[in-house]
Structure formats: C-alpha cells, structure tokens
Amino acid sequence: MGFLSRTSSVLVVIISCCLVGVALAGNFYEEFSLTWGGPRAQISNGGRQLSLSLDNTSGSGFESKKEYLFGKIDMQLKLVSGNSAGTVTAYYVLQLSSKGNKHDEIDFEFLGNLSGDPYILHTNVFSQGKGGREQQFYLWFDPTQDFHTYSIIWVPHHIVFLVDNTPIRVFQNSESIGVPFPKNQPMRIHSSLWNADNWATRGGLVKTDWSKAPFTAYYRGFNSIDFPNSSPSPSSKSFSDGNWEAKELDTKARRRVRWVQKNFMIYNYCADLKRFPQSLPPEC
C-alpha cells in the first residue's frame, strides 16, 4: 500500500502468477471470480465488462481464477468519477499463498480525490515481504471520462508499468546487489474498490462523502500474454514495437519514461533523502 498521503476511497486490482505466451482476450465470467461485496460486484455485457461499487456498508472485489508467472497483463479501467475522495482503486499482482512476511506484490493504486483535483497513481513493488518502493504520478488525462489501459510487464530481468502502452516506471532486477526480486512465486490478479479515508486523501484529512455513494469503477478489455521462457526473447523487434520480453527498453521507450517522470511524477522513494537520511536503497 502507499507511503504518502492518499485519497480516501480505494479501488484495488491485484495480479498474481503465471502468464503463458499467447494473447488471450479475457471474458470476466471465465477469467475471474467475484470474491466479496455481494451485488456490488457485477459482470455484464456477456462477460465483457465488470463493475465494482462502494457504499457505506461495503466495498467489493474480484480475483483471477488462474495464477501467473511472467507475462504482460492489460486491464482497461474507468475510475470513480466526481468526488472520489477516500476511495482507492488498486490493480496489482499478488502472491497469495504466502501473504505473510514473504509475499510478492506488484501494485497499481488509484487514489481518489475531491472533484476537480487529479487522481494520484501510486505504484509499488514488494518482494519477499519487503516493499517501500513507491513512485507516484499524476495522469495526463482524466481517468474518469473514458477507459484507459493499465499494464504490467513482468519478466525475470525487470517489471515495467505502462499506461496506454506508455512506460511510466521500470523496476530492474537488482539481485546481484542483494535486492530481492519477485520471480519465483506465481500470483493472481486482484482488484477491489474500498474505503480508505483514514489515509488515502491528503493523509486522511479529507473523508469520504457518503452522500455521493455508491462509488463505481468499471473494467473491460482484460488481456494476458504469458511468457513461458525465462530468457529474453531473441526477436529483432524493439520494446516499442511490441517485443515485451526485450531485456532493455529501446531509445523511444526510455524517452517516454523520462517524459512521464519529468512532467508527472510527484513522489519517488529513490529521491527521498528525508526518509532515507543515511543512504538511499541500493537499487536507487
């Protein structure tokens, strides 16, 4: 979960475990189970769309039936509109069988806000139970007006976070200098929408306005590509041309990461000298 001040409501999507090598357009009836929230979680349009709602009684959530280990996962989301303060939408991969102090997790979290104020996109990576690797961004569009695609590429040498196929963050495998990297434990995809007004918006100063409930987020366009091999793809194509297993981002992709981080990043744990006064984490 997040380190900085956040908005009050939370929508969470979790991805855990094994991807396979072929692109699969997902049907929510076939790919996911509604796990909590009763009628607040609904699949519609023949399995092509899913919605999660939050009211003053409960939030809601779902998880993938399959587990994944390495691949690319895409989900299109349309976030809670209007005054979403206190809510969090999270989309991440989570290793569930060891949820204790050794779990792995790859996070997208969308922190709600007051009407007119931007969402905060919060990212984090946990490995062997250690997280604290937060980067936060504003988005360059209104995520409540239409669906946008949020993707995770997870391969043994790095994890890439993408928004509408624009890479915004790369977390490198730094096991060579003693930093754990999630590569051994399959994971499931999870998502939930829940109330977090004790911390989510401005550190809990802004509370959820229940007169605006129910709060609803929408999902469609789930897609997964499994990467069954642990070595980088021999393809001559670059990352920007769709070679998602490439060991390094090409020049165009690196330029896009720099553009996002220069213009839209609002927090980077690797630059937080107050938090790490002695020395920054080794992967920084």
Residues recognised as catalytic: 105, 109
**Integer Cα distance of 235 and 241 in angstroms:** 11
Query: Do 236 and 99 meet the contact criterion of CB atoms below 8 Å apart?
Result: no
Buried b (16+ CB within 10 A) or exposed e, 209-243: beebbbbbbbbbebbbbbbeeeeeeeeeeebbeeb
The runs of H, that is alpha helices, within the chain are 28-31, 251-263
Rounded to the nearest angstrom, the gap between the alpha carbon of residue 248 and the centroid of all alpha carbons in its chain is 21
- For residue 71, give every residue at least 6 positions away whose Cβ sits within 8 Å of its Cβ, in sequence order, or none: 18, 19, 20, 21, 153, 154, 224, 225, 226, 227
Q: If you write DSSP's letter for every residue of 198-247 in order, what string do you get?
A: TTTTGGGTSPP-GGGPPEEEEEEEEEEEE---SSPP--SS-GGGT-TT-S
Rounded to the nearest angstrom, the gap between the alpha carbon of residue 17 and the centroid of all alpha carbons in its chain is: 14
Which tokens hold the place of 207? Answer: 């509370």
How does DSSP classify residue 59?
Answer: -
- CA 53 to CA 80: how far, in whole Å? 9
Query: How far is Cα 263 from Cα 167, in angstroms, rounded to an integer?
Result: 14
Q: Whose structure tokens read 């060991």?
A: 247
